[in-house]
Each structure stands twice: as structure tokens, then as C-alpha cells.
A and B are shown apart, each in its own frame.
Chain A
Amino acid sequence: KQEVTQIPAALSVPEGENLVLNCSFTDSAIYNLQWFRQDPGKGLTSLLLIQSSQREQTSGRLNASLDKSSGRSTLYIAASQPGDSATYLCAVLYGNNRLAFGKGNQVVVIP
């Protein structure tokens, strides 16, 4: 069974600091890894998708890396802003179209 872990569960940072969110998964046989953002009471917004053959993806202030052999991904958010406050979810696509999710990193950016 694929298990996904996200560390830390919650963190607070002052505005302007870089954010580093970690995700690990137990089975390296994945098709891709996706990072989502979820605001309270809302749905999931896709941030970045990394294919299993890729090492990283970038979008604006966001950069995600993938080390499939060691079962790890890291999401970097540069120069954090209060609007970045949300829960960030990591999910891996594996097996017969199954997504396995971590429990999320709850982020608060302090103005």
C-alpha cells in the first residue's frame, strides 16, 4: 500500500521567508506527483505536476523537486506572502489510477 507523509504538519513563518514543505512516499512506482493547495472550506487547486521521469517543475514563486528513487518531493515557495496561507497537499498517482494523499502541511504566513 502506498503511504504518503508530509512534514511538518503545520508551520508559521514571517512574511518574506522561503517556505520548504516535504513529502515522502513509500513505493517509488509512481506515475506522477502533484502538489495541491486547499483553502479552508474549499476544494483542491492544482499547483504543480511532476512526471515520474522529471526532477523538478517551476511555476512563478513555486518550485517542486522529485527524487523518485528515494521517495521524496519538496515544495519551495519563495518570498512567502500572507496570501500563501493555506494547506498544501502532496499526492502520488500509482497503480490503477489511484491517488494517495498526504495529510497536508498547514501553513500560516505572518504579516
Chain B
Amino acid sequence: NAGVTQTPKFQVLKTGQSMTLQCAQDMNHEYMSWYRQDPGMGLRLIHYSVGAGITDQGEVPNGYNVSRSTTEDFPLRLLSAAPSQTSVYFCASNRARTSTEVFFGQGTRLTVV
């Protein structure tokens, strides 16, 4: 199994550019989520989804959009990149909230200049 796959692994953007971080899982998990990790701040939840067609905001949603058209994919869109969005982004998935472990992708390191 590939598990949770994120692309790209590294990205440099200019301020104001837009891009999409891709996340795919092949475990048929209902739940998927995006986190960002910043030094001294730990991991913080950006957006999450409890199933296809259903998304909700986490702690730090501003500047990001998500959609969930299939069970497998959960892309994260940066509409107009800002230096404050320089971070490492992790996608995660799990089967059901009460019982199973959460699996993480390897991360996308994003730098906005």
C-alpha cells in the first residue's frame, strides 16, 4: 500500500501566486485532514473532511481552500500565497474517529518569497 501520498515534496512560490498541494490515500479512509507545522507552534489543523463532499475548517483556515470530490483525494489550495504560509504541510487520513490510528503523508515543504 502506498498509504498517504503528498505532492510535491518541495515548492517555492512568489507572493501572490496560487497553487494546489495534492494529497491522495489508497486505504479507503473516510476522514482526511491538512496540518501545518511551524517551529515553536507544533502541528495545527487547517481543514478537514469527514467524507466526500463534506469539509470543515480547523484552527488556521484563512488563506486556504479545500474540496473533497472523491474519497481518495483531498487537495489544499493556496489562493494567493503569503510569506506567512511558509511552512511544512502534512496530509493525514484515518478510517473512523473512534478506533483507528491516523496516517500521515511525508509532507510538503513550502517556501513563499
19-44 of chain A: CB within 8 A of chain B: 31-32, 34, 36, 41-44
Complex CA–CA separation, A101 to B44 (angstroms) = 8
Chain B residue at minimal CB-CB distance from A98 = B45
Question: Are the CB atoms of B105 and A43 closer together than 8 Å?
Answer: yes
Nearest CB on B from A95, distance (A): 9
Please, which residues of chain B bring their CB within 8 A of the CB of A34?
101-102
- Chain A's interface: helix, strand, loop or mixed, by majority? strand
Complex CA–CA separation, A12 to B94 (angstroms) = 33
Complex CA–CA separation, A32 to B95 (angstroms) = 13
Q: How many residues of B contact A (CB 8 A)?
A: 28
Complex CA–CA separation, A97 to B56 (angstroms) = 11
12-38 of chain B: CB within 8 A of chain A: 31, 33, 35
Complex CA–CA separation, A32 to B104 (angstroms) = 16
Please, which residues of chain B bring their CB within 8 A of the CB of A91?
43, 102
Please, which residues of chain A bring their CB within 8 A of the CB of B74?
none
